[in-house]
Amino acid sequence: MPRAETVVLKLRPPGRAKRAWLDRTAELFRQGTQLGLDAALGMATSSRAKIHTATYASIRALGLPSDYCRMAVNQAVQLARSHFGLRKSKQQAGKPTAVRSQGIGLGTNAYKVVGTALRLSTGVQGVYIWLPLCVPQHWRDRLQYVRGDARLFRRGDEWFVMLPLKMPNTPTVRDGNGETVIGVDLGIVRLATAKHPNGVFIANGKAIRHTREGYASLRRRYQRHRRLDRVRAMKGKERRWMTDLNHKVSRGLVDLAARYPNPVLAFEKLDGIRDRIRGSKRFNRMVASWAFRQLADFVLYKAERAGVRVIFVDPRKTSRTCPKCGHATRANRTTQADFRCVACGYQGNADVVASLNIAGVAAGLLRQGPPDTARPSAAPRCGAGQAAPAGERLDGVKVWASVHADSNLESSV
């Protein structure tokens, strides 16, 4: 079942001709609604079919384009129903009238959202009115889910459109108490993976690993030749490279988060991360855990300046919990890179899944109360440490933006 949501967007100020068309159509829509309403009251019915049959032709004759007539009838039906409802409950109910401020009802055939513009049918085939919308950046990819009847209305000199959304119930980026929570998964193959409402941020793992391996093989060669001075120089060089990389990645993560409302970046707690890094040589684990700490430090100070909160969560089970149904088992993780839920069949990239789960745990903490948003060592303790299923709708929690974990991986850095 898709979830229904509504969004109201402002139109960019329309030019004189479009304004005139909008005002004229709104007036015709009002007149059409009034015709339907009069018929409903006259016949003492709120049956859509009866009102439609009785009035459609005369509404059409007003000059209202056909795509708008059905909605005028619907509007009349609604007004009639609420009027009869009021009378039934013996409340005062004056004769209802259609008013211009109710705007223009847009049936699904009357409009289409194309990019960030509203395309209205004019009743003439192939002739449209284009109305660009003011769409916040973080709203853009939600417009693909616009489905159903909409409404255009005017307040003062400005026009607005109310659009219905049918959001798919796929695992999502979590929202604590109105925060946008973005989980960051740290790894050796990919330094950082972060699912965010508009896609996936990845610190390009291949290039990083390639450079690291280059350093490692050089180091081995110098060690074989007992060139300890060179080994030391190597280590310094690798650290400087890593530091530079961490500056870029942390900048990327903070800039990304800052694009969203009430942003929170969530990381796994770094205590014991060295032991959690699997399948890697001891030296690589040391370098990696140092690199993660440095990355977290850089993120912390950049985030503070940018007004982005940072939260650290218990990482237990974040790599093997299903973000859709919450089932947690090692068997979900088929390979290093792939996640496949044995319970519900949800599939995704393992790093993206971990990122979603970290966000899920963090969102849970945010709902519980004010979290510490401090340093890695002072991170809040998290009880069960299990990510709540991300598709679940909890009290006061808005879940938004769909995830198609593997289809929209984008590289950053």
CA–CA distance, 207 with 230 (Å, rounded to integer): 23
Q: What mask of x and - would describe binding to Zn ion in positions 196 to 215, judged by CB under 5 A?
A: --------------------
* From 93, 231, 325, 413, residue interacting with Zn ion (rule: CB under 5 A): 325
Q: Which is nearer to Zn ion, 306 or 331 (CB)?
A: 331
CA–CA distance, 315 with 361 (Å, rounded to integer): 9
346 binds Zn ion (CB under 5 A): yes
340 binds Zn ion (CB under 5 A): no
CA–CA distance, 244 with 249 (Å, rounded to integer): 9
Q: Are 383 and 123 in contact (CB under 8 A)?
A: no
Q: Which is nearer to Zn ion, 285 or 320 (CB)?
A: 320
Smallest gap from Cβ 332 to Zn ion, in A, equals: 7
Give the binding range for Zn ion (CB under 5 A) out of 116-124, 175-183, 342-350, 400-408.
342-350
328 binds Zn ion (CB under 5 A): no
Judged by CB under 5 A, the number of residues near Zn ion is 8
* From 110, 133, 322, 405, residue interacting with Zn ion (rule: CB under 5 A): 322
Q: Which is nearer to Zn ion, 348 or 385 (CB)?
A: 348
Smallest gap from Cβ 360 to Zn ion, in A, equals: 13
387 binds Zn ion (CB under 5 A): no
CA–CA distance, 318 with 359 (Å, rounded to integer): 10
Smallest gap from Cβ 352 to Zn ion, in A, equals: 14
Q: What mask of x and - would describe binding to Zn ion in positions 91 to 110, judged by CB under 5 A?
A: --------------------
Q: Which is nearer to Zn ion, 218 or 325 (CB)?
A: 325
Smallest gap from Cβ 387 to Zn ion, in A, equals: 11
Give the binding range for Zn ion (CB under 5 A) out of 24-32, 110-118, 182-190, 337-345.
337-345
* From 62, 218, 258, 344, residue interacting with Zn ion (rule: CB under 5 A): 344
Give the binding range for Zn ion (CB under 5 A) out of 125-133, 143-151, 258-266, 327-335.
327-335
339 binds Zn ion (CB under 5 A): no
Give the binding range for Zn ion (CB under 5 A) out of 88-96, 149-157, 204-212, 326-334.
326-334
Smallest gap from Cβ 179 to Zn ion, in A, equals: 25
258 binds Zn ion (CB under 5 A): no
Give the binding range for Zn ion (CB under 5 A) out of 130-138, 226-234, 333-341, 363-371.
333-341
338 binds Zn ion (CB under 5 A): no
Give the binding range for Zn ion (CB under 5 A) out of 46-54, 304-312, 323-331, 372-380.
323-331
Query: What are the distances in angstroms from CA 121 to CA 64, 67, 267?
Result: 11, 7, 48
Going by C-alpha positions, the residue among 153, 118, 379, 158 that lies closest to residue 266 is 379
List residues binding Zn ion (CB under 5 A): 322, 324-325, 327, 341, 343-344, 346
